[in-house]
Every structure is written in C-alpha cells, then in structure tokens.
C-alpha cells in the first residue's frame, strides 16, 4: 500500500527538523496534499465513517497550516494533519486485515534519528 | 439492531500473527473465564462482580444481549486474548453515549491488539449512530490511555483517588470521550 510509504516520507521528512528550510515545509505541504488525496480515493469505496471524519480533520489541519491561520503554529497543524492521516491509514489496514503500520519499522530507510516513536498497545 | 455482518473478522498483529474478532456467544464462557482469570489484578478492578468466579461468567454468557452490551472477543486458536465491550442504553439521556471497556491479555500487549479493538468499537459506535464513546481507565494503565488518545479519545476528566482496586487501594480515574462523526454542532439547542 503506497499510503504507508507516503506517510513515512512525511513522517521522516526534513520539514520536521530544527534546520528545515521554507522549501522543505512547502514540499511537505505538497506531499501532504497528495497523501490526503490518495487516502480520499482509498476511502471512496469503504463504509468507514470514523475514518472519513479523520480525513476531514486532516484536510482542515492542512488548510489551517497553509492559509497562515495557524501563525507560528503552522508546523504543528501540519503535524496534526499527519497524525489524522496515520489514523485513517491504520483504519484502512485494519479493515483489510493487514498488520498495523509503525514508521519505526522503516527507520532504516530514512535519515531520521530525531523522531520519537510511540509504542503500540 | 447492531450490524454484525462483518464478523468473524481476521486481523493481523504487529508480529504478523493473526487473531479473529467476533461477538461473544454462550459457548465462550470457559474461554472468557480463563482470559479474565489471567488478567492482572488492576484490569479486573472495574468489574461490578467477582470475575474470578466461574458462575459470574457463565451467567453473562447465558444472558447475552448485544443491544445492551456487545462483547467482541479477540481469539487466537481457541484462546480468548482480548475483548472490547460496547455498553449502550436503549432509552434515556445517555442512549447516544456508548461506554467502552477494552481488555488485552498481558502477553498480547504492544502488538496492536488493543488499538485494533479500539478501532472496532469506534466502527460499531458509528454504525449505531452514537454521539460519544466514553472510556474509563485507571491512570496507571498508561498504554491504554495513550492508545485511546491516539485513536481520538480526549481526556475529559481525571478524578483523583476516586476508585479503589480489589485490595482497597485508591487510584485516579481517567474519563476519556470520543466524539463521533454524527455529532454536529447544530444538534445543540
């Protein structure tokens, strides 16, 4: 499923680093828009109202991050969008009987020492 | 009626092993009793009845009423390894509030089973048009609290020294709420 890779590209993206540039952040916005678009397509044929609501929240957070309404918190809104997206991807995997996705499993593919991982329950 | 046509449902855990989710049936009494007996003491604290007594579980199994309490079991082989129960009121002012109770066998934790059970209950809550899911967790059950929060539950209250375990020790109770998709602002008046 490409959604997981799309998520991880953002999760381990340069935009989350202390030394991120404006270009890194702009690139992250584009990647997020693409990811949410792909999630939206994946959800079209599924009867998953909770996931749809999370997608709406992700889009709302992305809009706030892009519009400047979030002010200095714009990056935090982008982070929220990514969290909502991850939850929807998790719902889609669950529906298909696939294992949960944890970015920690793919850390070796990325240059990402600073990102904290959260344990599953 | 709560739609149950999605069961049995196979899920895959983090270690690539499988479990089956399905509603509890009367024949599950033995399996559920064994599961409950193996749970850590703290996880049994919230039960109103002594779940170490086989008769208690047998009585539950005989009186299943999915519209009031729907227990979804996670089963590996013939062993119950987790459960998620959705409690609902048919009438009254809390009929749109579902109460959630999730239990995971100690040796099945950190495999994503608890999160999968939360996803399942969230799905069922949407299907029966609840406005909120409510979960009560003892504060020490940190992994459960974190998992619920990651799945969209928000801490509503923390009651200090509010509940006691079976040995009489006091614990903080965390109440978490999950707003459902049908909850629109314009429903308030």
SS (H, E, C) chain B: CCCCCCCCEEEECCCCCEEEEEECCHHHHHHHHHHHHHCCHHHHCCCCCCCCCHHHHHHHHHCCCCCCEEEEEEEECCEEEEEEEEECCCCCCCCCEEEEEEEECHHHCCCCHHHHHHHHHHHHHHHCCCCEEEEEEECCCHHHHHHHHHCCCEEEEEEEEEEECCCCCEEEEEEEEEECCCCCHHHCC
At residue B23, the pLDDT reads 98
Task: Look at domain B9-187 and name its CATH class.
Answer: alpha beta
Which residue in A has a C-alpha nearest to residue B112's C-alpha? A121
How confident is the prediction along chain B (189 residues), in pLDDT tens digits per residue?
888 999 999 999 999 999 999 999 999 999 999 999 999 888 888 788 888 889 999 999 999 999 999 999 999 999 999 999 999 998 999 999 999 999 999 999 999 999 999 999 999 999 999 999 999 999 999 999 999 999 999 999 999 999 988 888 999 999 999 999 887 654 555
Residue B63 C-alpha, separation from nearest chain A C-alpha, in angstroms: 30
Residue A51 C-alpha, separation from nearest chain B C-alpha, in angstroms: 9
Q: In chain B, what are the domain boundaries?
A: 9-187
pTM for the whole structure:
0.91
Q: Does a structural domain hold residue A121? A: no
What domain range is A103 assigned to?
2-109
Q: Does a structural domain hold residue A116? A: no
Q: Does a structural domain hold residue A120? A: no
- Minimum-distance CB partner of A52 among B125, B151, B181: B181
Q: Does a structural domain hold residue A75? A: yes
Question: What is the number of structural domains in chain A?
Answer: 1
Q: Could A98 and B181 be called an inter-chain contact, meaning their C-beta atoms sit closer than 8 Å? A: no
Q: Does a structural domain hold residue A11? A: yes
Q: Does a structural domain hold residue A6? A: yes
Q: Does a structural domain hold residue A115? A: no
pLDDT band at A84 (very low <50, low <70, confident <90, very high): very high
CB pairs under 8 A between A and B: 67
pLDDT band at A17 (very low <50, low <70, confident <90, very high): confident
Contacts of B115 in chain A (CB under 8 A): 90, 100, 120-121
Burial of B133 (0-12, 13-18, 19+ CB in 10 A): buried
Q: Could A94 and B13 be called an inter-chain contact, meaning their C-beta atoms sit closer than 8 Å? A: no
Q: Does a structural domain hold residue A117? A: no
- ipTM exceeds 0.85: yes
Q: Is B123 on the interface with A (CB under 8 A)?
A: yes
């Amino acid at each position: 499923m490409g959604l997981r890779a799309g998520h991880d590209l953002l999760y381990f993206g340069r935009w989350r680093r202390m030394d991120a540039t404006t270009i890194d952040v702009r690139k992250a916005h584009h990647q997020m828009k693409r990811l949410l678009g792909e999630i939206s397509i994946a959800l079209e044929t599924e009867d998953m109202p909770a996931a749809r609501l999370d997608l709406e929240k992700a889009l709302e957070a992305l809009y706030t991050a892009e519009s400047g309404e979030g002010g200095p918190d714009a990056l935090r809104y982008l982070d929220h969008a990514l969290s909502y997206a991850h939850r929807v991807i998790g719902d889609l995997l669950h529906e298909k009987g696939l294992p949960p996705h944890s970015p920690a499993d793919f850390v070796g593919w990325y240059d990402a020492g600073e990102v904290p991982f959260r344990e599953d329950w | 009626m709560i739609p149950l046509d999605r069961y049995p449902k196979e899920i895959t855990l983090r270690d690539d092993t499988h479990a089956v989710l399905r509603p509890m049936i009367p024949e599950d009494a033995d399996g559920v009793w064994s599961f409950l007996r193996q749970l850590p003491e703290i996880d049994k604290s919230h039960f109103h009845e002594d779940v170490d007594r086989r008769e208690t579980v047998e009585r539950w199994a005989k009186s299943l009423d999915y519209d009031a309490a729907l227990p979804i079991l996670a089963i590996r082989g013939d062993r119950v390894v987790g459960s998620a129960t959705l409690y609902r009121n048919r009438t009254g002012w809390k009929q749109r509030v579902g109460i959630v109770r999730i239990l995971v066998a100690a040796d099945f934790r950190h495999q994503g089973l608890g999160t999968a059970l939360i996803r399942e209950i969230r799905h069922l809550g949407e299907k029966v048009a609840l406005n909120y899911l409510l979960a009560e967790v003892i504060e020490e059950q940190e992994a459960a609290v974190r998992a619920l929060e990651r799945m969209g539950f928000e801490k509503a209250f923390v009651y200090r020294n509010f509940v006691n375990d079976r040995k009489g020790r006091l614990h903080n109770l965390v109440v978490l709420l999950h707003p459902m998709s049908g909850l629109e602002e314009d429903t308030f008046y």
